[in-house]
Amino acid sequence: MFTMCTIIAKNYLAFARTLVKSFLQHHPTGKAYVLLADESEGLVNAHEEIFEWIHLKDIGLPESLEMSFQYDVTEFNTAVKPYFLDYLLRARGVETVAYFDPDILITQRMDGFFRALPQHSIVLTPHTLSDIPKDGHKPNEIDILQAGVYNLGFLALSRTEETLRMLDWWKTKLRNECIMDPAGGYHVDQRWMDLVPARFDGVHILKNPTFNVSYWNLHERPVVNRNGLYEIHGKPLTFYHFSGLVSDLSRISKHQTRFQWGQFPDLKKLFGEYVAQLTANGYPATAGWRYAYHYFDNGISVPPIARTIYRKLESKQAFGNPFLTLTPNGFYQWLFSPTSLVSPVPQILKEIYYARIDLQRVFPDFYGADRNNLMNWAREHVPLEYGVDPLVWNPVWSSMIFR
């Protein structure tokens, strides 16, 4: 039996349905698992789907609250990937499994691939197989190097000792270092995978150009519709990855500038069919569902700077549940508390200050003569630049500025 899996927050339910239906259309005896890296909040029903739901509590995720708080939705959904794959291989006894990002559509049977998969421990697909034109457009080859050699929207594994060893290693990397910071050397889970072919045996680099076609390799893989079948260089397209999809189809991807629809009329037809399937699978109703881990328990959104500060703490456990706002010694209370009773500055502003050389130069006397000027700067810029809700920030700022 061929097995696939994907990971979603619940607002991506229509994507998961579309992916799984395309898989089962071509592999009707296959099995599909979907990990909900979110809280269901009564919106998902296990009995209504053609796949099996897996929940975070099932996969043995260590310090689940901490991970869901320190990462945004994209980071968290990728950070749990090795734990999910490990669960399927170890706990569920799956022999081979292919992971697909939810924004993928399978357009061709993959029997040959799945039958050959046990010959390898790990299968990866490169972003590109040839040079990208140097034409000033995005993405360029530096962008690809920053994102990683391999695209982790697709990954296939066999249950071998080497695979399980790789997953254990990968978990240690994604526990605290699954962040989107290309300039700093991070691109969520992908850059770590660049190390895998050198560190583990049984790694197969799949160079089939009909697999994992997307905006980053359209320069070498033009999509053509011939007699109702989508092809790449005369061979049937296996699956397309709709990364950066713009639902109104105003452009090919929000991540690229190189290509326009006029260059790929058949590709636009594929996109139109895909969006129609998303709509039929509930996209209008589900796309607006909220991501539970985007909010504190008081309904205020968690600002990205709070996640960064929390992730870098040496001892997170002392704060307890970071989403709770009324816990006296909790993270929320600490984040907005004064660092000094004599010359109070909010803890969050202190963290921002010491992360920015420009602020240190302009306001060198943090607790003294420059405190009020720093606080006046922070009144506008902390909400504007760091996403702190003014409903929270304004009372905090007001309580400390004149003291």
The span from the CA of 236 to the CA of 273, in Å, is 17
Half-sphere exposure of 367 (CA within 13 A, CB side): 9
Which pTM was predicted? Answer: 0.95
pLDDT attached to residue 342 = 80
Q: CB of 102 within 8 A of CB of 165?
A: no
For tokens 């702190």, name the residue: 388
**What fold characterizes domain 3-286?**
Spore Coat Polysaccharide Biosynthesis Protein SpsA; Chain A (3.90.550)
Peptide bond into 197 cis (omega under 30): no
What pLDDT, in 10s, does the model give residues 259-311? Answer: 999 999 999 999 999 999 999 999 999 999 999 999 999 999 999 999 999 99
Q: In this structure, what DSSP letter does residue 46 have? A: G
The span from the CA of 27 to the CA of 25, in Å, is 6
The span from the CA of 80 to the CA of 174, in Å, is 8
From-to residues of CATH 3.90.550.10 in the chain: 3-286
pLDDT attached to residue 51 = 97
The span from the CA of 130 to the CA of 117, in Å, is 25
Q: Give SS3 for 160.
A: coil
Q: Give SS3 for 150.
A: strand
Q: Which residues contact 353 (CB under 8 A, 6 or more apart)?
A: 345, 359, 360, 363, 366, 374
Show the low-confidence residues of the chain (pLDDT under 50): none
Beta bridge partners of 97: 157
- The amino acid at residue 100 is F
pLDDT attached to residue 400 = 87
Q: CB of 129 within 8 A of CB of 248?
A: no
Q: How far is CA 139 from CA 150, 194, 219, in A?
A: 15, 19, 11
The span from the CA of 294 to the CA of 312, in Å, is 19
Closest CA to 106 of 31, 20, 220: 20
Q: In this structure, what DSSP letter does residue 119 have? A: G
pLDDT attached to residue 1 = 82
> For residue 53, which phi and psi values (nearest 5 degrees)?
-70, 140
Q: How far is CA 127 from CA 193, 211, 231, 237, 308, in A?
A: 12, 10, 18, 16, 29
pLDDT attached to residue 188 = 95
Half-sphere exposure of 191 (CA within 13 A, CB side): 20
pLDDT attached to residue 402 = 63
How many other C-beta atoms can be found within 10 angstroms of the C-beta atom of residue 42?
6
The span from the CA of 133 to the CA of 88, in Å, is 40
